Amino acid sequence: MLKINKITPETVNVYDPQDNLLGAVNEYEFLDLRVQIKEKQLDGYYVIHKGEKVAINKNGQIADWPYDLFATMGSLYAKLFKP
């Protein structure tokens, strides 16, 4: 028998270069913000993940992606494709 597991999407707080909180975003919203940062070539934006500052460069990339930041989808895919 299957059961529906309720999965609450992870969120992180996003900050602008002046350290103003823009709000909490989920994985999809975070990806959209990264695209906007790249398109506008903005610098200085970051998120706080587990107390650590995670910088987003002007190309929307994260140099040192924390292994557990937005990891739910990857973990589920790993289980799905596990032999």
Structural domain includes residue 69: yes
Structural domain includes residue 7: no
Asked whether the beta carbons of 9 and 66 are under 8 A apart, the reply is no
3-state DSSP assignment of residue 53: strand
Which pLDDT score is estimated for 62? 97
Structural domain includes residue 76: yes
Q: What is the spatial distance between Cα 12 and Cα 48, in angstroms, rounded to a whole number? A: 6
Which pLDDT score is estimated for 1? 94
Domains identified in the chain, total number? 1
Which pLDDT score is estimated for 15? 98
Which pLDDT score is estimated for 27? 95
Per-residue pLDDT in tens (0 to 9) along the chain, 83 residues: 999 999 999 999 999 999 999 999 999 999 999 999 999 999 999 999 999 999 999 999 999 999 999 999 999 999 999 98
Structural domain includes residue 1: no
Structural domain includes residue 4: no
Give the global pTM. 0.87
Alpha helices by DSSP H, the chain: 27-40, 72-80
